[in-house]
């Protein structure tokens, strides 16, 4: 009767409280013990008062007990006919219920007949002679409803799903049969670890046969004629309605119908219409009307209408009620859940899990299983807590389900392996119950649109080799440079050779030439991916509390790799994703490794794509995307350097980094780029800070100071006479402001970073250094003051917000300028430079 486990309760006869006798207090009257599963969802109660479920609301309080109502399933033929209405008042509830069981048993026997229409492709065979088609029944019902919903047959049993006996059970279906004779399985709620799942599997064949039966309960608009057996099954066959003269005609009319049932439309709609609205229904309703009027006051039209509405509602509710037992629902739920849940949510549900944590601000509130359970409850249309709205119990239950689903999920791979054997023994049919489940293709491994043959994934070394080959063949700037270098490199020292190389590098914004010298674009990209993999693995280990070993990551970074002309580590920073991963890499590096990689970084600064892009000399017209790149680098990588320098580096290390920068790079070129200038600023200002700091506590040793002075001299010499070059030309700044467009908060080029650089340069220098700096940038200083004063003049002539903006910009210009001037004890104010007091 039921789909899955329900049958076992009543043994082979399949007594189900709801399905056996819709109105009957079947289970209750039968005194059958209710298990937890039933009472829990309120189904126990439901079974008991099923017949008068909402009756007082529906029919008023004055309805007599035993006065049962039809909820419109065309079963009036069944009930009204064998038990003429006249008998009804004298039948007690219990009797009615028992008689209900009686009818139900009869039904089962009727069900025994297989439905040919379901199993054959040809036109269905003629069924028993007096069938009403669903259309007919439907029409009669509508008719009756229109007439005021007056009849009083007991509520209909929900349509019988096919009994298993009704269908040829395949002989291989042994487990299923065996199970039916066996003891009922323990309810899942009381014994969560009981082997419920395997039981369910055994029921699989049953499910399949049950499914077609369910269709009988579809709204009649579906596929009406296709399942005449449904109604035939639930209406006792041999009884002819008395006093229904048209009935015979109607049936004879219907007899040929089954043959044409494959066409969903009746061939003679008008005639049917007439028949449906004809005698039998009217007659019966009249009888019932009389009967009811004896019992209760006539209803006013409004009340009737109200009742109709209510009736419609109740009917809606009861239409499919009890089609599935709680156990059936549990099974479905568990099956669905088993597709979703995983043992390791971080592994298989990574995006969702982490996203939720980020959204909630890093708080992991509930366990994953609880979350799934809650989400499933919320979105599956499960009534929370059933009738009693006990959401907590429902949640608990659902968590149990999730638990079990995890078990099922664990079993899954094994099952797939055994599937063939199972099919051979006939027990592997469950897969098909809820749709086609293919082993090769499921929600976890969906069909791919793109098949990338693994053979094409050559090893890194191969790629590398081919890249080098390609760069040798194609006359790229890199190759060209090699040639020019080999022509006249005999006498140039190692240092100047490097300089030369870098001076060549910045002649092209195209980063391929640089990449070509560090193993090729593909190689660098694949390196980045390797690094990502290592980082992800380290992060996963960190999260699960395992030991993290960064050796593989360090190897992947290739910081110490001398094989390539340009360090691959520096080339990685050419790509945005390479920049973005850096903070996460640094999380796993120890101090020595960080220092080593930063040394490499500063040594090869000239090859850094971002320097070339952000220098006005090599890239006078930066594009939007390039500006974004510069921004990203500034926020991500500069931050790492600053935090490293300020937290864990000492004076000597900073000097070392600065030395690496000066020794191997063209400082005056680097200082033309915003990023480069920022990097230098960071180093020298940090050094200056430490010097000032240690002045108070412990004094730097004299060799340290002299080394510092030496390095500073070197830096200054490299910059001398080119200091003014740190100011980008007006065309460049205009271009940058223009490219930043409307998204930028400011509509002018922010020169603060330049004055910061000059300030820190002056701060570390001696008086003669400062004098040289001022000499060189004098024009810029006065230019800035003039610009500021001009803005004040303009502000006087304008009103409102623009004037405020101008005044603000003027103040900003003075502020930036004074960063530098204050170092030397000067201050610019109102168009004049004065001494700082």
Residues that bind other proteins (CB under 8 A): 336, 339-340, 342, 347-356, 358, 375, 379-380, 443-444, 529, 532-533, 536-537, 577, 580
Task: Give min distance, CB of 336 to other proteins, in A.
Answer: 7
In the bound state with other proteins, the residue whose beta carbon lies nearer, of 358 and 455, is 358
Task: Give min distance, CB of 443 to other proteins, in A.
Answer: 4
For residue 476, the tally of other CB atoms under 10 A from its CB is 18
In the bound state with other proteins, the residue whose beta carbon lies nearer, of 529 and 830, is 529
The SS3 of residue 427 is: coil
Task: Give min distance, CB of 17 to other proteins, in A.
Answer: 31
In the bound state with other proteins, the residue whose beta carbon lies nearer, of 351 and 835, is 351
Task: Give min distance, CB of 346 to other proteins, in A.
Answer: 9
The rounded distance, in Å, linking the Cα atoms of 53 and 46 is 8
Q: Which two tokens stand for residue 311?
A: 């009736």
Task: Give min distance, CB of 536 to other proteins, in A.
Answer: 6
State the residue for tokens 């019902």.
Answer: 141
Of 479, 473, 555, the residue nearest 515 (C-alpha): 479
Task: Give min distance, CB of 356 to other proteins, in A.
Answer: 7
End-to-end CA distance of the chain: 99
Report the C-alpha dihedral over residues 631, 634, 640, 641, rounded to 10 degrees. 170
DSSP labels, 634-680 = HHHHHHHHHHHHHHH--HHHHHHHHHHHHHHS-HHHHTTBHHHHHHH
In the bound state with other proteins, the residue whose beta carbon lies nearer, of 443 and 551, is 443
Task: Give min distance, CB of 193 to other proteins, in A.
Answer: 26
| Contact criterion met (CB below 8 Å) for 88 and 66 | yes
DSSP labels, 532-585 = HHHHHHHHHHHHTT-----HHHHHHHTTT--SSSS-HHHHHTTSHHHHHHHHHH
Beta-bridge mates of residue 834 = 827
| Phi, psi at 827, each rounded to 5° | -145, 135
Task: Give min distance, CB of 353 to other proteins, in A.
Answer: 8
In the bound state with other proteins, the residue whose beta carbon lies nearer, of 239 and 542, is 542
The rounded distance, in Å, linking the Cα atoms of 47 and 325 is 12
Task: Give min distance, CB of 352 to other proteins, in A.
Answer: 4
DSSP state of 615: B
For residue 204, the tally of other CB atoms under 10 A from its CB is 21
Burial of 445: CB neighbours in 10 Å, binned 0-12, 13-18, 19+: exposed
The rounded distance, in Å, linking the Cα atoms of 652 and 137 is 96
Show the DSSP H helices in 365-390 as ranges.
368-379
In the bound state with other proteins, the residue whose beta carbon lies nearer, of 13 and 522, is 522
Task: Give min distance, CB of 532 to other proteins, in A.
Answer: 5
The rounded distance, in Å, linking the Cα atoms of 155 and 181 is 32
In the bound state with other proteins, the residue whose beta carbon lies nearer, of 434 and 474, is 434
The SS3 of residue 147 is: coil
Task: Give min distance, CB of 23 to other proteins, in A.
Answer: 33
Which residues, other chains included, contact 726 with Cβ-Cβ below 8 Å and sequence gap of 6+?
Answer: 671, 672, 677, 754, 757, 758
In the bound state with other proteins, the residue whose beta carbon lies nearer, of 341 and 659, is 341
Task: Give min distance, CB of 744 to other proteins, in A.
Answer: 19
In the bound state with other proteins, the residue whose beta carbon lies nearer, of 142 and 356, is 356
Task: Give min distance, CB of 530 to other proteins, in A.
Answer: 11
Q: How far is CA 738 from CA 239, 345, 491, 623, 732, in A?
A: 92, 47, 46, 10, 10
DSSP state of 717: H
Which residues, other chains included, contact 247 with Cβ-Cβ below 8 Å and sequence gap of 6+?
Answer: 240, 241, 279, 280
In the bound state with other proteins, the residue whose beta carbon lies nearer, of 454 and 801, is 454
State the residue for tokens 């020019």.
Answer: 484
| Contact criterion met (CB below 8 Å) for 4 and 203 | yes
Task: Give min distance, CB of 533 to other proteins, in A.
Answer: 6
Buried b (16+ CB within 10 A) or exposed e, 5-44: bbbbbbeeebbbbbbbbbbbbbbbbbeeebbebbebbbbb
Beta-bridge mates of residue 827 = 834
In the bound state with other proteins, the residue whose beta carbon lies nearer, of 162 and 341, is 341
Task: Give min distance, CB of 331 to other proteins, in A.
Answer: 17
In the bound state with other proteins, the residue whose beta carbon lies nearer, of 110 and 557, is 557
Q: How many residues does the chain have?
A: 837
In the bound state with other proteins, the residue whose beta carbon lies nearer, of 354 and 424, is 354
In the bound state with other proteins, the residue whose beta carbon lies nearer, of 57 and 348, is 348
In the bound state with other proteins, the residue whose beta carbon lies nearer, of 276 and 531, is 531
The rounded distance, in Å, linking the Cα atoms of 800 and 759 is 34
């Amino acid at each position: 009767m039921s789909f899955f486990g329900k049958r076992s309760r009543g043994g082979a006869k399949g007594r189900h409280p709801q399905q056996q006798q819709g109105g009957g207090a079947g289970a209750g009257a039968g005194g059958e013990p209710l298990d937890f599963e039933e009472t829990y969802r309120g189904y126990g109660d439901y079974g008991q008062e099923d017949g008068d479920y909402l009756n007082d609301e529906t029919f008023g309080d004055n309805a007599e007990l035993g006065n049962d109502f039809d909820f419109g399933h065309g079963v009036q033929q069944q009930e009204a006919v064998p038990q003429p209405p006249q008998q009804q008042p004298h039948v007690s509830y219990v009797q009615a219920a028992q008689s209900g069981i009686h009818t139900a048993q009869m039904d089962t026997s009727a069900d025994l007949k297989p439905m040919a229409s379901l199993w054959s492709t040809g036109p269905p065979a003629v069924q028993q002679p007096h069938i009403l088609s669903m259309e007919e029944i439907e029409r009669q019902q509508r008719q009756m409803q229109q007439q005021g919903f007056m009849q009083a047959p007991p509520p209909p049993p929900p349509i019988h799903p096919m009994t298993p006996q009704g269908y040829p059970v395949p002989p291989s279906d042994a487990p299923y049969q065996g199970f039916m004779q066996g003891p009922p399985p323990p309810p899942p709620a009381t014994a969560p670890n009981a082997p419920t799942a395997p039981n369910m599997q055994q029921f699989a064949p049953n499910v399949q046969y049950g499914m077609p039966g369910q269709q009988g309960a579809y709204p009649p608009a579906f596929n009406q004629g296709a399942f005449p057996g449904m109604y035939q099954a639930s209406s006792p066959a041999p009884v002819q309605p008395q006093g229904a003269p048209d009935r015979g005609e109607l049936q004879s009319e219907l007899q040929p119908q089954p043959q044409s049932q494959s066409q969903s439309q009746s061939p003679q709609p008008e005639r049917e219409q007439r028949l449906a609205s004809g005698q039998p229904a009217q007659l019966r309703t009249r009888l019932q009307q009389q009967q009811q009027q004896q019992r209760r006051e006539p209803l006013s039209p409004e009340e009737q209408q109200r009742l109709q509405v209510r009736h419609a509602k109740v009917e809606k509710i009861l239409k499919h009620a009890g089609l599935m037992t709680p156990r059936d629902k549990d099974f479905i739920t568990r099956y669905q859940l088993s597709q979703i849940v995983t043992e390791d949510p971080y592994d298989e549900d990574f995006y969702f899990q982490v996203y939720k944590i980020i959204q909630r601000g890093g708080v992991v509130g509930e366990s994953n299983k609880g979350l799934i359970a809650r989400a499933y409850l919320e979105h599956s249309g499960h009534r929370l807590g059933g009738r009693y709205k006990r959401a907590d119990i429902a949640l608990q239950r659902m968590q149990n389900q999730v638990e079990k689903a995890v078990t099922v999920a664990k079993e899954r791979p094994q099952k797939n392996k055994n599937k063939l054997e199972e099919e051979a023994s006939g027990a592997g049919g469950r897969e098909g119950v809820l749709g086609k489940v293919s082993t090769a293709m499921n929600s976890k491994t969906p069909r791919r649109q793109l098949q990338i043959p693994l053979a094409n994934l050559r090893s890194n070394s191969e790629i590398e080799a081919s890249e080098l080959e390609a760069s040798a063949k194609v006359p790229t700037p890199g190759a060209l440079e090699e040639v020019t270098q080999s022509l006249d490199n005999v006498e140039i020292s190692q240092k100047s050779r490097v300089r030369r190389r870098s001076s060549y590098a910045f002649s092209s914004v195209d980063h391929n030439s640089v990449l070509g010298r560090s193993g090729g674009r593909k190689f660098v990209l694949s390196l980045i991916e390797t690094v990502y993999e290592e980082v992800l693995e380290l992060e996963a280990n960190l999260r699960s509390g395992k030991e993290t070993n960064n050796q593989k990551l360090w190897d992947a970074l290739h910081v110490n790799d001398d094989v390539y002309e340009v360090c691959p580590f520096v080339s990685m920073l050419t790509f945005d994703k390479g920049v973005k991963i850096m903070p996460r890499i640094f999380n796993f590096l120890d101090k020595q490794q960080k220092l080593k990689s930063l040394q490499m970084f500063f040594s090869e600064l000239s090859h850094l794509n971002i320097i070339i892009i952000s220098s006005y000399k090599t890239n006078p017209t930066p594009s939007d995307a390039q500006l974004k790149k510069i921004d990203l680098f500034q926020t991500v990588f500069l931050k790492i350097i600053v935090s490293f320098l300020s937290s864990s580096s000492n004076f000597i290390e900073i000097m070392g980094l600065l030395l690496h920068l000066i020794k191997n790079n063209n400082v005056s070129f680097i200082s033309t780029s915003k990023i480069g200038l920022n990097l230098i600023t960071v180093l020298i200002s940090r050094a200056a800070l430490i010097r000032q700091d240690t002045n108070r506590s412990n004094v730097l040793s004299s060799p340290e100071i002299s080394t510092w002075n030496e390095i500073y001299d070197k830096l200054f010499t490299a910059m001398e006479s080119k200091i003014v070059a740190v100011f980008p030309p007006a065309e460049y700044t205009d271009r940058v402001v223009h490219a930043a467009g409307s998204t930028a908060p400011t509509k002018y080029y922010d020169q603060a970073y330049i004055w910061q650089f000059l300030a820190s340069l002056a701060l570390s220098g001696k008086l003669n250094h400062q004098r040289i700096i001022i000499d060189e940038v004098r024009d810029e200083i006065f230019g800035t003051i003039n610009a500021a004063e001009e803005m004040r003049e303009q502000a006087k002539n304008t009103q409102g917000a623009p004037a405020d903006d101008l005044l603000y910009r003027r103040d900003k210009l003075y502020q930036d300028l004074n960063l530098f001037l204050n170092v030397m004890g000067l201050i610019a104010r109102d168009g004049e430079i004065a001494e700082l007091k």
